[in-house]
Amino acid sequence: MKDINQFTITEAVKKSFRTEEGSRFKFLLEKLIDHLHDFTRETNLSQDEWMRVLTFLYDCGKISTPERHEFILLSDVLGFSALVDMINTRGGATEGSNLGPFYLDNAPRKRLGADIAGEREGVSVLCHGVVRDTLGHALPGAIVDTWQADGSGTYPIQEAGQDKYDLRGIFEADGEGRYYYTTVLPKPYTVPYDGPVGDLLRAGDRHAWRAAHLHFMIRSPGMRSIVTELFFENTDYLDNDAVFGVRRSLVAKLEPYKPGKAGDIELERQPDAMIGFDFVLAPA
């Protein structure tokens, strides 16, 4: 019979998977096995440490629910999510950033110029800009799907008695690719830190705060959709966002509102401030 040892086991495990030659699955699996085994050999991982890793994953599974995906949170705080977003950003397009756990795929359609904040307190802000392609051409009818926390850093979906569709909206850009709506300025908030990932943050003396942001998913026929976030100049945690979501190109300037500065648009509510940001989509 053949024998395996700590040097030959990696090839033995790879060979045990009889996957299609040249397939993406085979490639991913072999890279995963290589890195997992190299990590183990390079660290001389002890059996206690091995068990702690597996118990950590077990505990992540235990606290997870459809509304609380601890593995995504783990991916976020290890920069795995951000790195995937970076790798998948196309040249010339707006940089991608975290989807986060609060996206709903059936947010209400809103008319351009609508206010999505309702009676919520806080600084009222006009968000506006143009959706373009990488050649600079406007994309009329592009879909701007946005969601965000409120002026205290909470998503309505997190609070009993609130309408989970509040502070969300799906807008259709006008004939010039423009989008505009008013909302309330979001506050920073912490990612959930009452689970295993919170324990990891504490063990690493890390905070759980995210810089204040607006979420966006932008789509247009024939173009590659983007999921990204918009941040605000001179606000907290831009340099140490807990999930590594901030990119310099996604930080925009909040200015006092000046009627007419965003063009000839009609608004449901008169805002205090305004922020302009153009989204750029690459071809699919």
> Would you say 61 or 263 has its CB closer to a second copy?
61
Q: How far apart are alpha carbons 25 and 11 in whole angstroms?
A: 16
Q: In the range 89-118, which residues lie near a second copy by CB under 8 A?
A: none
Amino acid at 67: E
> Would you say 81 or 148 has its CB closer to a second copy?
81
Of the candidates 144, 167, 191, 238, which one interacts with a second copy according to CB under 8 A? 238
- Longest Cα separation, the chain: 82
> Would you say 152 or 240 has its CB closer to a second copy?
240
- Give bridge partners of residue 149 from the DSSP assignment: none
- Binding string, residues 38-77; x marks residues near a second copy by CB under 8 A: xxxxxxxxxx-xx---x--xx-xxx-x----xxxx--x--
Residue 246 CB contacts under 8 Å (≥ 6 apart), including other chains = 97, 211, 229, 231, 237, 238, 239
> Would you say 13 or 138 has its CB closer to a second copy?
13
What are 84's two structure tokens? Answer: 């995937």
Indicate whether 9 belongs to the interface with a second copy (CB under 8 A).
Answer: yes
> Would you say 14 or 120 has its CB closer to a second copy?
14
- Please report how close the Cβ of residue 170 comes to a second copy at its closest, in angstroms: 20
- Please report how close the Cβ of residue 275 comes to a second copy at its closest, in angstroms: 17
Of the candidates 155, 181, 193, 244, which one interacts with a second copy according to CB under 8 A? 244
- Please report how close the Cβ of residue 226 comes to a second copy at its closest, in angstroms: 10
- Please report how close the Cβ of residue 228 comes to a second copy at its closest, in angstroms: 12
Contact by Cβ (8 Å): 230, 212: no
Look at strands 254-256 and 279-281 and give their pairing: unpaired
- Please report how close the Cβ of residue 33 comes to a second copy at its closest, in angstroms: 6
Q: How far apart are alpha carbons 29 and 18 in whole angstroms?
A: 11
Of the candidates 22, 37, 187, 208, which one interacts with a second copy according to CB under 8 A? 37
The string over 100-121, giving b where at least 16 C-beta atoms fall within 10 Å of a residue's C-beta and e elsewhere, is: bbbeeeebeebebbbbbbeebe
* First-to-final CA distance of the chain: 52
Q: How many residues bind a second copy (CB under 8 A)?
A: 73
Indicate whether 160 belongs to the interface with a second copy (CB under 8 A).
Answer: no
Indicate whether 16 belongs to the interface with a second copy (CB under 8 A).
Answer: yes
Q: How far apart are alpha carbons 98 and 75 in whole angstroms?
A: 11
